[in-house]
Amino acid sequence: MSAFEYFSVALSFVLGLGVTRLLLGGVHVFRARRRQRVHWIPLVWAAGIFVYQIQFWWALFELNEVLAAWTHIAFVTLMAHALLLFVAGALVLPTTDSHERESLIGYFEGDGHWALLAIAVYAALSYWTNWALFGTSPLSSIGLIVAVSFVLPLGGFFVSNRTVNGALAAAYLVFVIYAYVVLAPAQY
């Protein structure tokens, strides 16, 4: 096995756990729908996080061609990305019945909104990673996309008004789908 294959397995393992946690949260919300009021805002944020998880996984195919050498700093940086995506996926939706007494929006406002901080830190780290590891100018179109990917969830983390948070969530989902379509190659 090459260094890339070892690294991609480790990254995929962590990322796969994050996707699993997010999907289990979705299943839990579905099962609890008769006992709890389902609210759309956490589900929209969860969908945006899921798009970023899939986009990062898809981008792993390209890393072997983009990185000239696999260094420790490159591995740690990319593992930090995977860990942040795991944390975001694990926090955004409840995955157990321990939150039975509160609504989905109640859970999100208490614990789930911390996923937005994780995804904002992910975007900030991406800004640095694109520049330091891949040589992408911070002023490029990719830099602008990453900056918007930082601002929207950070706003969602700090804003307590549900109307504003809903608008940020909707804008974020539309934006990450747009970014995925524009940035991700159709095939490898």
HEC sequence for 55-107: HHHHHHHHHHHHCCCCCHHHHHHHHHHHHHHHHHHHHCCCCCHHHCCCCHHHH
pLDDT level of residue 64 (50, 70, 90 thresholds) = confident
Residue with tokens 């944390």: 87
Question: Inter-axis angle of helices 114-132 and 141-158, to 10 degrees?
Answer: 160
Q: How far apart are CA 180 and CA 29, in angstroms?
A: 26
Residue 188 lies in a domain: no
pLDDT at 77 over 80: yes
Q: Which residues span the domain enclosing 174? A: 3-183
Q: What is the pLDDT of residue 61?
A: 82
Candidate from 44-53, 129-138, 178-187 with smallest mean pLDDT: 178-187
Residue 7 lies in a domain: yes
Q: How far apart are CA 87 and CA 111, in angstroms?
A: 12
Q: How far apart are CA 25 and CA 12, in angstroms?
A: 20
Counted domains in the chain: 1
Residue 59 lies in a domain: yes
This prediction's pTM = 0.92
Residue 96 lies in a domain: yes
pLDDT level of residue 35 (50, 70, 90 thresholds) = confident
